[in-house]
Amino acid sequence: MARPKAPSKPKPFRFTSVSGKRRIAKNIRSKTTPNQCSFVFLNPSKWSTKPPKGWSSPETWKPCLDTLLTTTQGVCLACGDETEEPDNCECSLEAFRAKDAQWKKLFELKEVEGMGVGVFAKQRIGPRTVVGEYTGVLNPPGHLYDYGEVGYHVEVPLGPSIFSEVFGTVDATYEGSFVRFVNHSCNAKANLVTGRVGRTRVSAIMMKGNRAVKAGEELTVNYGPVYFQGKYCYCGYRRCKYPDPNT
């Protein structure tokens, strides 16, 4: 599972501002420009040659994508195989990612007042649709915010077992897919899920079983209570759980 060849020139994301102008997207706090990237990769120099605490078989430790992300368990997010038997499906990660690369057919990025950029559907997206993979650089356990910005990370279990207690984080601060722009709502219609495609563990956004987004509607997920410790939510839902008392 070598890192795929990166495109020669990284492409930034563009969004439509509230005034209707097309702009290059920036990260909320650092104002750095994230680039589009359709795969998960790692920088071996950030990973210790010693196995992380809790790693099940220290003698097999090797900080590479094959060791960290190959799994034979979990639901396949490409074909929906739920049997936890990866031999039932031969889904290809490349094909899954190639479909994701066409994201602009289904979604567009638009400014959401007070929340930066958000993801909007161009056409109806139905229940249980896998919307896109959360991609970026895989950071080691315990390095949640060392190399990135709060808000652009997802935790991912490492090693062959889905019951692993060792977690890394996929950091999309500088490189990631369009799903890094998905905002939080207390009435979210999608979830962030961890599954597999073929034999590779992936994190992706998936529509809930009973919810759909209409054309023109924003796609949102629930970030969970930990994210909102000490922060306010501006989702605007009438039963918002973390409202700003001053608004």
Q: Which residues bind ligand SAM (CB under 6 A)?
A: 28, 115-118, 150-152, 180-181, 183-184, 233-235
Taking the least distance from each CB to ligand SAM, the nearer of 81 and 111 is 111
Residue 15 C-beta: closest distance to ligand SAM, Å: 8
Taking the least distance from each CB to ligand SAM, the nearer of 188 and 207 is 188
* Contact call for residues 235 and 189 (beta carbons, < 8 A): no
Residue 35 C-beta: closest distance to ligand SAM, Å: 13
Compute φ and ψ for 51, nearest 5 degrees.
-65, 145
Residue 30 C-beta: closest distance to ligand SAM, Å: 11
Q: Does the CA dihedral 74-80-82-87 come out positive or negative?
A: negative
Taking the least distance from each CB to ligand SAM, the nearer of 55 and 152 is 152
* Contact call for residues 136 and 172 (beta carbons, < 8 A): yes
Residue 22 C-beta: closest distance to ligand SAM, Å: 15
Closest-by-Cβ residue to ligand SAM is 116
Cβ neighbourhood burial of 36 (10 Å; 0-12, 13-18, 19+): middle
Residue 83 C-beta: closest distance to ligand SAM, Å: 32
Residue 51 C-beta: closest distance to ligand SAM, Å: 30
* 55 DSSP 8-state letter: -
Distance CA 81, CA 89 (A): 7
Taking the least distance from each CB to ligand SAM, the nearer of 47 and 181 is 181
Q: Which amino acid is at 194?
A: T
- Kindly state the helix (H) or strand (E) to which residue 22 belongs, with its residue range: strand 22-24
Q: Which of 170, 214, 172 is nearest to 189 (CA)?
A: 214
Taking the least distance from each CB to ligand SAM, the nearer of 84 and 149 is 149
Do you know the residue count of the chain?
Answer: 247
Distance CA 109, CA 94 (A): 24
Taking the least distance from each CB to ligand SAM, the nearer of 39 and 234 is 234
Residue 37 C-beta: closest distance to ligand SAM, Å: 15
* 68 DSSP 8-state letter: H
Taking the least distance from each CB to ligand SAM, the nearer of 118 and 132 is 118
